[in-house]
């Protein structure tokens, strides 16, 4: 990658992209859940199209199943995002999306879930959207189309 420390910088770049991708998966799944879509079917469709990603294919099913067992813990994601934001500040590079994801993960930490896996990121979106993603929502919660 270059001089000493370049590999660590590359890892932080990876974490920034991964964290933003996790947030995108959370937002897409919450939108689908709130609209009453079958989340498993939605996941199949999205995984076969332009929105497909490793995060969608691997964490999406865990989010739907509420499987928060850690592969990579929230607290470790937060550490890496903090390091990335410090590096960005030193370099004068704005990372607004990364800052947002760090704050979203603080919601998850506030729920006492810092030891859970990255799939627990969905909890922040659930709180903001006022739903708990359990597959389908009740018809009374479905938005009315006019």
Q: What residue spans of the chain are helical by DSSP H?
A: 6-34, 39-47, 54-65, 74-91, 96-110, 122-129
Q: Is the pLDDT confidence value at 139 over 60?
A: no
| Structure confidence by residue, pLDDT tens digits, 18-37 | 999 999 999 999 999 999 99
Is 132 catalytic? The answer is no
- The catalytically annotated residue of 11, 34, 73, 75 is 11
- Is 138 strand, coil or helix? coil
- The model's pTM is 0.89
Question: Among 3.40.50.1110, 1.10.1040.10, 3.90.1170.50, 1.10.3720.10, what is the CATH number of 9-132?
Answer: 1.10.1040.10
| Structure confidence by residue, pLDDT tens digits, 38-61 | 999 999 999 999 999 999 999 999
Angle of helix 6-34 relative to helix 54-65, nearest 10 degrees? Answer: 50
Task: Enumerate the domain spans of the chain.
Answer: 9-132
Query: So what's the pLDDT on residue 136?
Result: 44
CA–chain centroid gap for 48, Å, is 19
- Is 36 strand, coil or helix? coil
Q: How far apart are CA 46 and CA 52, in angstroms?
A: 6
């Amino acid at each position: 990658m270059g001089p000493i420390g370049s590999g660590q910088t590359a890892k932080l770049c990876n974490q920034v992209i991964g964290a933003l991708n996790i947030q995108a998966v959370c937002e897409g799944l919450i939108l689908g859940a709130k609209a009453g879509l079958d989340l498993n079917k939605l996941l199949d469709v999205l995984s076969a199209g332009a929105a497909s990603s490793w995060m969608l294919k691997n964490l999406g099913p865990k989010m739907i199943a509420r499987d928060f067992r850690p592969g990579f813990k929230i607290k470790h994601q937060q550490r890496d995002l903090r390091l990335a934001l410090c590096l960005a500040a030193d370099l004068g590079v704005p990372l607004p999306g990364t800052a947002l994801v760090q704050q979203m993960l603080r919601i998850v930490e506030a729920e006492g879930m810092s030891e859970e896996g990255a799939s627990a990121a969905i909890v922040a979106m659930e709180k903001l959207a006022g739903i708990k993603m359990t597959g389908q929502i009740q018809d009374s919660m479905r938005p009315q189309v006019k």
